[in-house]
Structure formats: C-alpha cells, structure tokens
Structure 1
Amino acid sequence: MSETSRALRPTVEAWEWQLRGACREADPELFFHPELERGAARQHRDAAALAICAECPVLRQCRQHVLSHRESYGVWGGLTEEQREAVWSGRTERRRLRRAG
C-alpha cells in the first residue's frame, strides 16, 4: 500500500495549486459561457471572470496548465477562449513581430 501512495504523490503535488484558485469561491457559470451567448453579454461575463483571475494567487500555474493542456472552453488562467486560441495559433506572436519589424 505504501508503494501506491508514493506513486500518487507527484500527481497530487502537480494539481494542488487548484485548491488555492480564486475561482473556487465564484459561481462556475461565470467562467463558462452558455450555448449561443454572444456580444455584450459574453463580453460582460468574460470581464467579470477575468477580474477574478486578475486577483488569483495561482494565476501563473493556471495559465501554464491551460496552455499546455489546450483547454478549449471557458476562462482559465486569465485568458478567454479567443485569447488562448490566438496564443496557440501564433497570431499573437506574429502581430508582435510585425509591430517590432
């Protein structure tokens, strides 16, 4: 039995940061848009979720997790779905290089 608990320890340590997330005290629906939500309603909901993320003590770990695991839905790590897609597709980097060049 002690062999099993030693094997699980790294996994627990890798996910432990989630217990300190500011989002744990918020309504989860704030971070995931309802089907067909668009326009101002979505912008307001995303802004409210991003405000919670901005104060989160584990923002860096959350962002690192979501970008490496390619979570497609919801606000994670202070990034909306569209912002993450821009990072993954390289659009953000290309825009930055165009402005610098």
Structure 2
Amino acid sequence: MTAGMEWSDGAPCHGNGDLFYPEDYGNETLQNAKIAAAKAICDACPVLRDCGRWAILRPEPFGIWGGMTVRERGRVRRRMGKSANPIGRSLQPCGTQAAIRRHHRKKEPLCRACHDASAVAWADKKAAAA
C-alpha cells in the first residue's frame, strides 16, 4: 500500500480493482454500467471524502476514486484552481476559524461545527464590545 493511504484499509473497494478501473473502451454500455456500479458503492463508503481528496490532490490518472471518474476529478481540480490544498498540508478541522474562512472562500454553506463556532465567536465579539 502507498504511504498515506491507511484510510483505504476499510474501504469496500479495497481489493476490487476490476470494478473501479472500468476501462472497457470497446463497449461503452458495459463501461457505463461498471462506472455506475462503482459509484453506487462509493456513495455508501465511509472514506468517500478521503478517497476523493487523495485522487484529486495526487492526481490519480485512472479509475473511480471518491465516487468520481478521471474527467470529473479534473473538473473539480480546475474549479479548485489556486485554492487547492497542496499535498502534505493538513486542513484545519471544522469548528475552527480557519475552517470557517475556508467555507466562505469556497462559497460553501457552513457545516454544523463551523456554524456553531461562528455563533460563539460572534457572541463573544458582541459581549466584548458591550
């Protein structure tokens, strides 16, 4: 296993390469069916986000990773542009000011942890001003 991929040990795709590398170029119908089956497994996977992040940041040139095809990962990578997290740099966890800023920068709704942290910070700021 590649270093840094410990998250994949419990993934349902682990050891099932045929389904997640559906390069049946001669038969588009079969290839699309394999892609749909792989994505269905990904949808319920507990490491979906880690897997997708791994494939986007490396970039992984083949297969279904994080519920995305190579082309879909390329689109995500282009949207990320310069805001892409460099390999090896860990993101601050949700519930921190850095994570709140990250949600705003990406124009994402705040997750519950960041929403709660933002409300606490706002209340603290309001109390300090009083």
- Shorter-normalised TM-score: what interval? 0.5 to 0.7
Q: Which has the higher helix share?
A: 1
8 Å CA contact retained: 1:22, 1:55? no
Q: Quick check: 1:80 aligned with 2:69? A: yes
1:13-32 per-residue CA deviation (whole Å, 9 max, x = no partner) reads x322111111026x310011
Instruction: From the superposition, tell whether residues 31 and 37 of structure 1 become closer, same or farther in structure 2 (CA, over 3 Å).
Output: farther
Matching of residue 22 in structure 1 with residue 12 in structure 2: yes
1:58 aligns with 47
Corresponding residue pairs, total: 78
Rounded to whole Å, the distance in 2 between the matches of 1:31 and 1:54 is 13
* 2:11 maps to amino acid: G
In the alignment, the residues of structure 1 paired with residue 27 and residue 77 of structure 2 have an alpha-carbon distance, to the nearest angstrom, of: 22
For residue 73 of structure 1, report the CA deviation from its aligned partner: 0.4
From the superposition, tell whether residues 61 and 69 of structure 1 become closer, same or farther in structure 2 (CA, over 3 Å).
same
Q: Separation in 1 of the partners of 2:55 and 2:78?
A: 15
* TM-score between the two structures when normalised by the length of structure 1: 0.66
In the other structure, the counterpart of 1:93 is none
Q: Please report the RMSD computed on the Cα atoms of aligned residues, expressed in angstroms.
A: 2.0
Shift of the 35–42 alpha-carbon distance from structure 1 to 2, 3 Å rule, reads closer
Off by >4 Å, runs of 4+ in structure 1: none
Structure showing greater Rg = 2
Where does the alignment leave 5 or more consecutive residues of structure 2 unmatched?
80-130
Aligned counterparts of 2:71 and 2:63: Cα–Cα separation in 1: 10
**With CA pairs under 8 Å and 6+ residues apart, which has the higher RCO, 1 or 2?**
1
- TM-score, normalisation: structure 2: 0.53
Partner AA of 2:7 in structure 1: W
Q: Distance in 2 between matches of 1:89 and 1:15?
A: 24
